[in-house]
Amino acid sequence: MKSCLSFDFLTPNVDQQHTARLWIQSVLQIQLPDSDNLYTSLRDGVFLCKLMNDLIPNSIPFIYYENNMDAWTKNIQQFLIASEQNGGLDTFQLFDINDLLYGHDMIAVSLIQSWDTIIKNIGV
């Protein structure tokens, strides 16, 4: 019997992560590393910055490639800021930086493919 206090709803299912992965790969025309885990593929923010620059050219002027938390944080922050300022998204449509840095709420992160429709709808 499953507890009514289950937190399974906080974990994205395989289909959500797979759909997000396929969308990112199709936009960037690349194969993301680590096909089993969207979190490890995106947590340094590099692919997110590349994705934003593909959707909205030159929206992120510099991508940090250092392998440390400070660089990862800067990349994710740039992505989230560009999503609001250039992409016309509201804060409630974005994930929190810690969701991705620490893998807390990957459902929010895995909904990234829905932004394509939003960005196209506002004519960016």
For residue 110, the model assigns a pLDDT of 66
**Would residue 2 count as lying in a domain?**
no
Cα–Cα distance, 102 to 65 (Å, whole number): 18
Domain carrying residue 51: 36-121
pLDDT per position as a tens digit, 29-72: 999 887 668 888 899 999 999 999 998 889 999 999 999 999 99
Structure tokens at 36: 């089993």
| Separation of first and last alpha carbons in the chain | 49
6 pLDDT higher than 60: no
User: CA 78 from chain center: how many Å?
Assistant: 12
**Would residue 111 count as lying in a domain?**
yes
DSSP code string of 4-70: TT--GGGS--HHHHHHHHHHHHHHHTS--S-TT-HHHHHTTSHHHHHHHHHHSTTSS------SSHH
Q: What is the DSSP letter of 86?
A: T
Cα–Cα distance, 124 to 108 (Å, whole number): 22
**Would residue 109 count as lying in a domain?**
yes
Q: What CATH number has the domain bearing residue 86?
A: 1.10.418.10
- Number of structural domains found in the chain: 1
Write down the pTM of the prediction.
Answer: 0.78
